[in-house]
Structure 1
Amino acid sequence: MSTRAELSAPLTCRDQEAEDGIDSEQLLMATMNQDLTEDELNHIKKQWSLEQDELKKQLIVHDDLDFDPDDLDTTLKFVGGVDISFDKENPVNAIASLIVLSFPDLKVVYEKYDRVTMQHPYIPGFLAFREVPHLENMIHELRQNCPQFIPQVILVDGNGILHQRGFGLASHLGVVVNIPTVGVAKKLLYVDDITRDTVKELVQKHLKAKGDYAKLIGKSGIAHGVVFQPIQKTGRPLFISIGHRISLESCIKVVLKTCIHKNPEPIRQADLRSRRMIEAQAAWKSNQ
C-alpha cells in the first residue's frame, strides 16, 4: 500500500547532527522562524521537561517483544522505519515518512507520507516534541487502516536513551505508540563525558568488520548505546541506542539483520523514497 502526500516545495533530507538530529543551519532557521522571546522559550522548556519526565517513567529498557531476538528469521515479520525531511527554504514545513518492510526479505509492504508543519520551536534535548506528533499520527492511521502491517519494532533516525536527558526521539516515540523502538544515529550526541577521542579509540580498537560494536560507557558507568560497524568496508559507524521495550543486545541484532547497506534498510528506504518524491517535485516545478 502506498499513500503519498502532495508537496508544494522542494525538500531536503535531514542530516543527523550533534544535538538531537538537525544540522546547524536548519537549527538556526527553525529557531528564528518561531519568533519567540527568551521567557517564552524558557516556559516551553520547563513544560516539556515535566512532560518528558512523566513519559520517561513509562520507559522500558529490557526486551518486551512479540518476537525472539535470537530467532529473528522465524519470529520477526514486519519492521518499520521513520524519518522526517525538511523544506530547505522553510524548515518549519516538512514531510514525515513511515515505511514498513517484511522480514527477513526486507521488501516494502506499506509506505505513508504526510506533509506537515512544525508547530513548535526546535530546542536542544526536546526534538521529539516537534517531530513525534506527526509520526504518531501516521502510526495511528496505520493501526486504523492496515493493522496487518503494524511493525513489531520501529527503527528511528535519531537517538533513544543516548540523549542528554536519557529520553530522545526514539524513546519518546516508542512510549507514546507503545511499540518497541531502536535509535539509530549517524552522528554521536556527546553525553556523560563521552568524547570524540573516546569514540575514535573505540572504533580503532574494536570495529574491524561488519557487525562489530563497542559500548559507549560514560563517566557514570552507564552504557548509553554502542558504536556499530554496519558494513564490511571502512565507513562511518552508526550509534545505536535503546528506544523503548527492547534491550541493547536485541537492538544490535535487529540493526545487524537489517543492514544491507550502511544504514538499516527501514531507515534507508524512508530516506530514499523521500528523496525520490523531492526530485519529482523539483522536476515538476522546473517544468511549470
Structure 2
Amino acid sequence: MAREAAGRPPEETLLLWKREQAQLKARVVDRDTEAWQRDPAFSGLQRVGGVDVSFVKGDSVNACASLVVLSYPELEASWPSERCPSWWTQCGGCRRGSLTSCPRQVLLVDGNGVLHHRGFGVACHLGILTDLPCVGVAKKLLQVDGLENNALHKEKIRLLRAGGDTFPLMGGSGTILGMALKSHDHSTKPLYVSVGHKVSLEAAVRLTRGCCKFRIPEPVRQADIRSRDYIRRTLGVPRAPTPGQERSQKAQNPRGVCPKGGSEEATGEGRPPEGHSTQESRDKGTGGAKLDATKTGCPASPVRQ
C-alpha cells in the first residue's frame, strides 16, 4: 500500500521515468519465444496468471494489485490467492522481476502493451521485470497514433459477429498496435489485445480468447474480484448491493471502488458465479487498470503505463 502524499510527481521525476521507459522499451520482444505458443492448442501451457489493479474511489494514494494463477485449459485455481501478495508495493518479487515462488508461464495484464503513447504500457513493463511472456488486455481503446473511437471504429465493432472475431488496430504510422477481439458471443464491446513481451500478437489474441468464460479473461477477472475484495476487507469499503438494489443504483459505484473509467455495457455477458452485482463485475466492461504513479500518487510502484 502506498502511503506517500498524493499529487503529481515533480517534473524531473516524470522525465526520469520516461527515460527509464524508453530504455526498457528497447528490450521488448514481440515474437513467440516458447514452444507452447506455436502449438495451435497451446500444448504444454499449464498455468496462466492474471494481474489486475483496483483503486479506491476518491483515494489517490491507495491501490491494490492482485495476481491469480489458473490452470490451463481448465481455468481453475492452481495457486492459493493468499500466497500471492495483493499489495503491489509490497510485492518484492514483482520489483525484482523474479516472482519465482509463483508457478505461472504467462501473464495476462489488465492494461496495454505496445498499444501505448510511448509504445511501452504496463504489460510490456511487467514482462520486462518478470522476464515472462505478457499480454495486454484492455477494455477501452487507448487512442494513440491516430486511433480513434469514432464512427468508423464503431462500425468495425458492429461487424464483429461471433466470439473470436477480430480486426487490426492500425495506427496512422502504418503499424498494427493490437487487435480488437470479440471475446464472447454475447459481448457488445471488444477487448483490445496487444503484445506485452515475449509473445506474438497472433498468439496473444488466441490465448486471450481461450481464457474467456465471459467477456474478460478468467485470470484477469478473478484477479479483479480478489483485489476488490481485499480493498473491501482492508479499507472497509461497503460491499455491492444485491441484484435487486442494483437497478436503483446503476448510475452509482456501489462498491466504492474506482471502476477505472469505464462505461455501462449491455447485460447478458455472462454473470460471474460469485454474484457480484455491478455491471463491471458481470463482464468487466470498463477501462484497463494502470500502474501509473502520475495517476495513483504511488511513486513507489515501478510499473507505469
Instruction: Provide the secondary structure at the position in 2 that maps to 1:108.
Output: coil
2:36 aligned with 1:54:
no
> Which amino acid letter does the alignment assign opposite residue 199 of structure 1?
H
2:19 aligned with 1:77:
no
Q: Specify the alignment match of 1:91 in structure 2.
A: 60
What CA RMSD, in Å, does the superposition of the two structures yield over aligned residues? 2.8
> Which amino acid letter does the alignment assign opposite residue 26 of structure 2?
K
Instruction: Provide the secondary structure at the position in 2 that maps to 1:98.
Output: strand
Q: Specify the alignment match of 1:173 in structure 2.
A: 126
What is the Cα deviation at residue 95 of structure 1?
1.6
Instruction: Provide the secondary structure at the position in 1 that maps to 2:204.
Output: helix
2:169 aligned with 1:216:
yes
TM-score (norm 1): 0.73
What is the Cα deviation at residue 191 of structure 1?
1.0
Kindly indicate whether the alpha-carbon contact (under 8 Å) linking 2:145 and 2:171 is maintained by their aligned counterparts in 1.
Answer: yes
> Which amino acid letter does the alignment assign opposite residue 201 of structure 1?
E
Higher normalized strand content (fraction of residues): 1
What is the Cα deviation at residue 94 of structure 1?
1.8
Structure 1 residues 122-141: aligned runs within 5 Å: 136-137=94-95, 140=98
Kindly indicate whether the alpha-carbon contact (under 8 Å) linking 1:156 and 1:170 is maintained by their aligned counterparts in 2.
Answer: yes
**2:6 corresponds to which of 3, 28, 33:** 33
Rounded Cα–Cα distance in structure 2 between residues aligned with 1:52 and 1:283: 35
Instruction: Provide the secondary structure at the position in 1 that maps to 2:86.
Output: strand
Q: Specify the alignment match of 1:187 in structure 2.
A: 140
Instruction: Provide the secondary structure at the position in 2 that maps to 1:114.
Output: coil
Change in Cα spacing, 1:68 to 1:61, as seen in structure 2 (3 Å) is closer
Rounded Cα–Cα distance in structure 1 between residues aligned with 2:8 and 2:131: 34
Q: Any stretches of 5+ residues in structure 1 without a counterpart?
A: 1-6, 8-29, 119-132
Instruction: Provide the secondary structure at the position in 1 that maps to 2:136.
Output: strand
Change in Cα spacing, 1:138 to 1:276, as seen in structure 2 (3 Å) is farther
> Which amino acid letter does the alignment assign opposite residue 277 of structure 1?
Y
Partner deviation per Cα, 1:227-246 (whole Å, 9 max, x = no partner): 11011014221100000110
Instruction: Provide the secondary structure at the position in 2 that maps to 1:277.
Output: helix
Q: Specify the alignment match of 2:87 in structure 1.
A: 115
**2:36 corresponds to which of 67, 84, 87:** 67
Partner deviation per Cα, 1:43-78 (whole Å, 9 max, x = no partner): 122212211111111111111124234343531111
TM-score (norm 2): 0.69
Higher normalized helix content (fraction of residues): 1
Change in Cα spacing, 1:274 to 1:222, as seen in structure 2 (3 Å) is same
**1:158 corresponds to which of 108, 111, 118:** 111
Q: Any stretches of 5+ residues in structure 2 without a counterpart?
A: 240-305
**1:233 corresponds to which of 180, 183, 186:** 186
Q: Specify the alignment match of 1:202 in structure 2.
A: 156
What is the Cα deviation at residue 281 of structure 1?
4.7
Change in Cα spacing, 1:171 to 1:282, as seen in structure 2 (3 Å) is closer
Q: Specify the alignment match of 1:123 in structure 2.
A: none
The sequence identity of aligned pairs, in percent, is 39
What is the Cα deviation at residue 280 of structure 1?
4.2
> Which amino acid letter does the alignment assign opposite residue 33 of structure 1?
A
Kindly indicate whether the alpha-carbon contact (under 8 Å) linking 1:159 and 1:241 is maintained by their aligned counterparts in 2.
Answer: yes
Change in Cα spacing, 1:69 to 1:91, as seen in structure 2 (3 Å) is farther
> Which amino acid letter does the alignment assign opposite residue 211 of structure 1?
G
Rounded Cα–Cα distance in structure 1 between residues aligned with 2:237 and 2:55: 18
Partner deviation per Cα, 1:127-173 (whole Å, 9 max, x = no partner): xxxxxx87714963x41x35xx1x21100000000001111100111
What is the Cα deviation at residue 117 of structure 1?
5.8
Greater mean deviation of Cα atoms: 196-205 or 209-218: 196-205
Kindly indicate whether the alpha-carbon contact (under 8 Å) linking 1:98 and 1:135 is maintained by their aligned counterparts in 2.
Answer: no
Q: Specify the alignment match of 2:277 in structure 1.
A: none
